[in-house]
């Protein structure tokens, strides 16, 4: 049996009981602080009083990622006490009315004046817009302490990956922001402004006031010239996907970056039209090369194999090339590692690559690609190639031929890669949704014994954390936790999982099941998975233990009584008949424990 460490038990206790535990008088170290903070992201608005107190007075953060968080002044202010920030990623700004500015503060407002209605979800929209103008310099001035301004090295001002939908990219920054932020954060070496409209003047300010930059992401920023980028002498990684240049002249300063190692033309897939930026064509047309280039990324661009080979031939220092979602079939380039999206094995390899790079846009795209690939495998596996006519064999019956040969090693590697992504980025909605869907398919398509117990245990932890996160964010619904509970049910049915879990962990899963039951309505027919998980773990139920201290038992009894008496609707083809029996069994168990 795995025995949890003391620090792990302490972390789980604080994390699960943040709203009822008294404030600690001792600050937590950076490792536990970062882990604790990440588990509460995206931060719910308004944040609980205890969470604000913990972030302000107990946590010692070095990395804070607020992507997906609807930021408020309360959230902004509680970070000012942090003195050792190294990395900061911001969320959505539309609720920060204190930092909204007039449209006159953008000289290019008329060019990008908003035409769509507020709240519209734009799909495949190629037109950049300015709906909100944010004083980002004033916001950062309030948010980042004097000490952290000297230590912060990474700043991400981009919206979270949102797939085909376009969220947050209509929030732009007031003119003059680059100079003010550059002077405020002298140690910055990495700046990500993907999907923000960047004016020529602001770009020039970036090249002047961020002299230490080693990484710069300009993807889909509407920039039309790279003139001045040669000032960033230390730049080693540059993203210029989706940009359109009028001539090679606007591109020539790129080749003065003699230390550049990584160049990405990778497009953002929120904008189909912008995938046809002409950066690749301008690069090849120039006839020039970067002498120390080691990696290049053409992902999600319209490019043919001939152009890729031409690029590789011109760069003998190249070590890897990415061609994910370009339509190029499996190819090999001698001496160069290739990352593509053709088949499950290649998708998993690419996911590992982008996870190490922490490239959120491509991780989002590849995880969804894995989910779709597993759906294809499921359709092929369910297809019956045998004829319906009976055949009588006079001799020896031939061995049946399996139409699809499962690649179990690839599926094992897939689960490992998905676990790694979720471990780092479980606060990103699309990453969790597509990872959960992919894991569900992996478990349904593959005998469980093919996945090591340690990987299954890690998946249990991730799904439990996802359920906790969802219930915290959506107290009136359980619709978003259907897939995680299906995975937990699948894993709980496996006899090798429960014996390897510590009793405290099993009790937490059982308590989480009861919390989920408390949120159900009569329309939640998929509650069966939750009820069944609890029934499998019922021997670990103890109403007096700490794990169940957060359960409102009178309300739970009422809810179970309703479920036990619930009759199926008129259209009951898919009605889970076991719900009544399971609810009755749990009701008896709960009432019996409370009467003692």
How far is the C-alpha of 22 from the C-alpha of 578, rounded, in Å? 41
Q: Which residues of 115-146 are buried (b: 16+ CB within 10 A; e: fewer)?
A: eeeeeeebeebeebbbbbbbbbbbbbeebbbe
In order, the DSSP letters of 430-459 are HHHHHHHHHHHHHHHHS-GGGS-HHHHHHH
Residues 425 and 431: beta-carbon distance below 8 Å: yes
Return left, alpha or beta for 543; rule: phi > 0 is left, psi -120 to 50 is alpha, else beta.
alpha
How far is the C-alpha of 164 from the C-alpha of 169, rounded, in Å? 13
What average pLDDT does range 508-534 have in this prediction? 82
Residue 296 has pLDDT above 60, yes or no: yes
pTM score, two decimals?
0.85
Instruction: Say how many C-beta atoms besides its own lie within 10 A of residue 149's C-beta.
Output: 17
Q: What is the pLDDT of residues 177-190, one digit of tens each?
A: 999 999 999 999 99
What average pLDDT does range 393-420 have in this prediction? 72
Confidence (pLDDT) at 270: 54
Residue 519 has pLDDT above 60, yes or no: yes
- Both tokens assigned to 576: 């889970």
Q: Give bridge partners of residue 88 from the DSSP assignment.
A: 64, 155
Q: What is the pLDDT of residues 332-353, one digit of tens each?
A: 899 999 999 999 999 999 999 9
List, in order, residues 6 or more apart from 511 with CB less than 8 Å away.
547, 548, 550, 551
DSSP code of residue 231: G
Place of tokens 């932890």: 461
Query: Could you tell me which of 275, 288, 303 has the C-alpha nearest to residue 249?
Result: 288
Lowest-confidence range among 9-23, 296-310, 562-576? 9-23
Q: What is the pLDDT of residues 47-65, one digit of tens each?
A: 888 888 888 888 999 999 9
What average pLDDT does range 580-596 have in this prediction? 87
Confidence (pLDDT) at 467: 84
For 89-127, give the secondary structure using H, E and C: ECCECCCCHHHECCHHHCCCCHHHECCCCCCCCEECCCC
What is the rounded average pLDDT for all residues in the chain? 84
Q: Supply φ then ψ for residue 217, to 5 degrees.
A: -110, 110
3-state SS, residue 495: coil
Confidence (pLDDT) at 118: 55
What average pLDDT does range 542-565 have in this prediction? 86
Under the banding of pLDDT at 50, 70 and 90, the label for residue 387 is very low
Which is higher by pLDDT, 201 or 467? 201
Confidence (pLDDT) at 21: 47
In order, the DSSP letters of 262-321 are EEE-PPPTT-SGGGG-SHHHHHHHHT---TT--EEE-TTS---HHHHHHHHHT-TT--EE
What average pLDDT does range 282-310 have in this prediction? 95
Q: What is the pLDDT of residues 191-231, one digit of tens each?
A: 999 999 999 999 999 999 999 999 999 999 999 999 999 99
Residue 262 has pLDDT above 60, yes or no: yes
Residue 23 has pLDDT above 80, yes or no: no
Which is higher by pLDDT, 406 or 374? 374
List, in order, residues 6 or more apart from 202 with CB less than 8 Å away.
173, 175, 177, 178
Residue 100 has pLDDT above 80, yes or no: yes
How far is the C-alpha of 283 from the C-alpha of 238, rounded, in Å? 14
Under the banding of pLDDT at 50, 70 and 90, the label for residue 87 is very high
Confidence (pLDDT) at 393: 43
What average pLDDT does range 353-369 have in this prediction? 94
Confidence (pLDDT) at 256: 96
How far is the C-alpha of 96 from the C-alpha of 79, rounded, in Å? 15
Residues 135 and 141: beta-carbon distance below 8 Å: no
Confidence (pLDDT) at 477: 66
What percent of the chain lies above the pLDDT cut of 70?
A: 83
Lowest-confidence range among 110-124, 350-364, 507-521? 110-124
How far is the C-alpha of 558 from the C-alpha of 321, rounded, in Å? 59
What average pLDDT does range 578-590 have in this prediction? 86
Based on the number of CB atoms within 10 Å of its own CB, is 393 exposed (0-12), middle (13-18) or buried (19 or more)? exposed
């Amino acid at each position: 049996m795995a025995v949890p460490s003391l620090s792990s038990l302490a972390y789980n206790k604080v994390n699960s009981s943040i709203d009822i535990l008294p404030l600690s008088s001792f600050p937590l170290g950076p490792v536990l602080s970062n882990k604790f903070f990440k588990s509460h992201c995206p931060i719910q608005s308004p944040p609980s009083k205890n969470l604000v107190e913990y972030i302000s007075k107990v946590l010692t953060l070095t990395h804070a990622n607020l992507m997906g968080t609807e930021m408020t002044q309360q959230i902004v202010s509680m970070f000012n006490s942090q003195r050792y920030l190294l990395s900061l990623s911001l969320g959505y700004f539309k609720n920060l009315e204190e930092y909204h500015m007039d449209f006159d503060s953008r000289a290019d407002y008329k060019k990008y004046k908003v035409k769509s209605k507020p709240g519209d979800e734009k799909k495949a929209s190629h037109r950049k817009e300015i709906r909100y103008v944010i004083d980002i310099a004033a916001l950062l001035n309030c948010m980042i302490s004097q000490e952290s301004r000297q230590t912060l090295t990474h700043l991400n001002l981009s919206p979270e990956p949102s797939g085909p939908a376009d969220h947050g990219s209509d929030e732009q920054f007031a003119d003059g922001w680059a100079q003010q932020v550059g002077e405020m954060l002298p140690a910055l070496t990495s700046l990500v402004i993907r999907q923000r409209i960047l004016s020529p003047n602001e770009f020039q300010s970036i090249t002047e006031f961020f002299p230490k930059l080693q990484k710069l992401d300009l993807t889909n920023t509407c920039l039309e010239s790279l003139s001045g980028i040669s000032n960033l002498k230390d730049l080693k990684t540059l993203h210029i996907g989706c940009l359109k240049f009028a001539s090679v002249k606007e591109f020539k300063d790129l080749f003065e970056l003699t230390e550049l190692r990584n160049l990405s033309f990778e497009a953002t897939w929120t904008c189909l039209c912008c995938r046809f930026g002409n950066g690749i064509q301008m690069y090849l047309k120039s006839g020039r090369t970067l002498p120390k280039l080691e990696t290049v990324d053409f992902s999600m661009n319209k490019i043919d194999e001939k152009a890729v080979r031409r690029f590789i031939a011109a760069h003998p220092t190249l070590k890897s090339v990415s061609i994910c979602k370009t339509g190029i079939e499996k190819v090999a380039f001698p001496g160069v590692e290739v990352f593509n999206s053709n088949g499950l094995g290649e998708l998993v390899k690419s996911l590992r690559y982008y996870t190490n790079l922490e490239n959120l846009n491509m991780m989002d795209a590849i995880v969804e690609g894995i989910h779709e690939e597993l759906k294809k495998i499921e359709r092929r596996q369910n297809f019956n190639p045998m004829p319906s006519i009976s055949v009588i064999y006079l001799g020896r019956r031939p061995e049946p031929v399996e139409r699809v040969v499962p690649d179990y090693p690839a599926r094992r590697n897939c689960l490992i890669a998905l676990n790694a992504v979720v471990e780092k980025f479980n606060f990103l909605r699309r990453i969790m949704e597509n990872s959960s869907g992919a894991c569900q398919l992996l478990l349904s398509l593959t005998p469980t014994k093919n996945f090591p117990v340690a990987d299954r245990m890690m998946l249990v932890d991730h799904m439990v954390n996802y359920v906790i996160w969802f219930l915290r964010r959506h107290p009136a619904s359980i619709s978003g936790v259907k897939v995680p509970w299906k995975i937990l049910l699948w894993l709980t049915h496996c006899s090798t999982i429960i014996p390897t879990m510590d009793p405290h962990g099993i009790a937490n899963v059982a308590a989480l099941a009861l919390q989920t039951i408390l949120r159900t309505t009569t329309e939640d027919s998929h509650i069966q998975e939750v009820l069944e998980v609890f029934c499998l773990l019922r021997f670990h139920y103890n109403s007096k233990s700490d794990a169940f201290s957060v359960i409102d038992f009178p309300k739970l009894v009422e809810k179970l009584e309703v479920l036990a008496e619930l009759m199926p609707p008129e259209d009951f083809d898919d009605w889970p008949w076991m719900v009544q029996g399971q609810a009755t069994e749990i009701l008896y168990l709960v009432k019996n424990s409370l009467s003692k």
